[in-house]
Amino acid sequence: MGASLGEVGEFGLVARVTADLPTAPGVLLGPGDDAAVVAAPDGRVVATTDVLVEGRHFRLDWSSPYDVGRKAAAQNLADVAAMGARPTALLVGFGAPASFPVESAGEIVRGLADEAASCGAAVVGGDVVRSDAVVLSVTALGSLDGRAPVTRAGARAGDVLVVAGLLGGAAAGLAALRAGRPDLAAAAAHRVPSPPYADGVALATAGASAMIDVSDGLTGDLGHVAAASGVGFVVDVAALPRHPAVAEAAAALGADPLEWVLGGGDDHALVATLPSPVPGYAVVGRAVAEPGIAWEGVAGVPAAYDHFA
């Protein structure tokens, strides 16, 4: 067994995990000083943060440390993409017990760095602290490159509704792991989501009026757009893009796949409204003046995830 964090100490850990971190365009000064320096060409920075706690957001008996790093990065980078921005950098707060292996900490950082690199960003700094459980607090930064941010508040009656990415895979994977079926393909979707980062900029460029990433379930997240924009929605449930592993998991576990497609989070698909259809994006619904959301094709819908429910 390799060295523990308690054996190498804070500064030894930082030196090891930052030694080979890749950089990215726009990173003027990376890890190693009191703070990083990241270019902001148009004078604005998109910023978002999330906290992941062992036992609540991930389990190290279900996911490898590398996968935990990928997942922690993905859910933050997806928020940047949902604003129509290009991800540029990650800052990471990391807490773990003194007995936690240095190798595992390095794998978490490697996962963070690889996921960031997949969309042109880089890990530029952070902090480490001793804690009772593994905790990751990740802040993502992004650039709008001269565009206006795409918020939740811009949808208007008559806009079309599109989804970029896939729905239901992460929730199906969580159900598979809880059922002791890590062999099901959906398990991988829970461990490491695949947000459509490039579609954030593409949809913004195409004129998206509102956008959000699906982190807590489509029923809740689309409701946030409706409330912020003062509109309602009619959604064609049959047209929603499902993760290909959902059907297999539903058959194996005897579950209703719509519970995952509509109520499951962590896929980080992007949901956007546009004044008119755009090639490459299938229309799954429309915004209407009447408040509320009508889910065509289903009798009832599951509630979205609530951290304190």
Indicate the pTM of the whole model.
0.91
pLDDT attached to residue 309 = 52
pLDDT attached to residue 52 = 94
pLDDT attached to residue 307 = 47
Q: How far apart are CA 308 and CA 107, in angstroms?
A: 30
- Amino acid sitting at position 38: V
- 168-227 confidence digits (pLDDT tens): 999 999 999 999 999 999 999 999 999 999 999 999 999 999 999 999 999 999 999 999
* Residue ranges in the chain whose pLDDT is less than 70: 1, 300, 302-309
Instruction: Count how many residues are written for the chain.
Output: 309
Residue whose C-alpha is closest to residue 225's, from 163, 169, 147, 151: 151
Q: Between the CA of residue 12 and those of 18, 39, 90, 289, what are the distances in Å? A: 10, 29, 21, 58
Q: What residues contact 120, with CB distance under 8 A and at least 6 apart? A: 24, 25, 86, 87, 88
| Domains along the sequence of the chain with CATH | 5-143 (3.30.1330.10), 160-296 (3.90.650.10)
pLDDT attached to residue 72 = 96
Q: How far apart are CA 299 and CA 262, in angstroms?
A: 12
- 45-71 confidence digits (pLDDT tens): 999 999 999 998 999 999 999 999 999
